[in-house]
């Protein structure tokens, strides 16, 4: 599919998709047989990747971190051990985020309690 269809499937703008492509997160393929244009073609895996990118972004991962994860899963850039290390690293950082969120929840609940009891 071309970028417009990819955009419609993922809900991301063509600008954003091109930005992710420039950032190395996804990669379209140009058909060398066609000489009249240099349009990029995208497959279903790219749709998957973009969905993953959106999810990963909303939990706070940076483009760089997301790139590492994509490389650890879809590409042959790393050895098996390196891949596992990267993914474990990300799992640890998610555990950390969870802990911080739980702490923040506690704190906000305390705030609420203070508001309810006119202690602030």
Partner DNA sequence: TACAACAATAGAGTATGGTCTATAGTTGAT
Partner DNA sequence: ATCAACTATAGACCATACTCTATTGTTGTA
Contact footprint for a second copy (CB under 8 A): 52, 55-56, 58-60, 69, 72-74, 80, 83-84, 87-88, 90-91, 94, 97-98, 100-101, 103-105, 107-109, 111-112, 114-116, 118, 120
Is residue 93 within the footprint of DNA (CB under 7 A)? no
Structure tokens, 21: 């492509």
Q: What are phi and psi of 117, to 5 degrees?
A: -100, 20
| Residue 30 CB neighbour total at 10 angstroms | 11
Q: Pattern of binders to DNA over 32-51, x per CB under 7 A?
A: --x-xxxxx-----------
Angle at 39 between CA 44 and CA 41, to 5 degrees: 10
Q: Which of 83, 76, 81, 54 is nearest to 66 (CA)?
A: 54
Count of residues near DNA by CB under 7 A: 22
Q: Which partner, DNA, a second copy, none, binds residue 79 by CB below 5 to 8 Å per kind? A: none
Is residue 4 within the footprint of DNA (CB under 7 A)? yes
Residue with tokens 């996804």: 26
Pick 3 or 69: Cβ nearer DNA: 3
Distance separating alpha carbons of residues 98 and 120, to the nearest angstrom: 28
Interface residue list for DNA (CB under 7 A)? 2-5, 13-16, 18-20, 28, 34, 36-40, 57, 62-64
């Amino acid at each position: 599919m071309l970028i417009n269809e990819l955009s419609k499937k993922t809900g991301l703008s063509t600008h954003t998709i091109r930005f992710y492509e420039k950032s190395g997160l996804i990669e379209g393929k140009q058909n060398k047989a066609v000489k009249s244009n240099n349009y990029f073609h995208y497959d279903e895996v790219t749709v998957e990747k973009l969905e993953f990118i959106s999810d990963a972004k909303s939990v706070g991962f940076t483009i760089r971190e997301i790139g590492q994860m994509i490389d650890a899963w879809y590409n042959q850039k790393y050895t098996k051990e390196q891949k596992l290390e990267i993914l474990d690293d990300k799992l640890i950082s998610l555990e950390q985020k969870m802990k911080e969120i739980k702490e923040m929840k506690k704190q906000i609940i305390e705030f609420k309690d203070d508001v309810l009891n006119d202690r602030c």
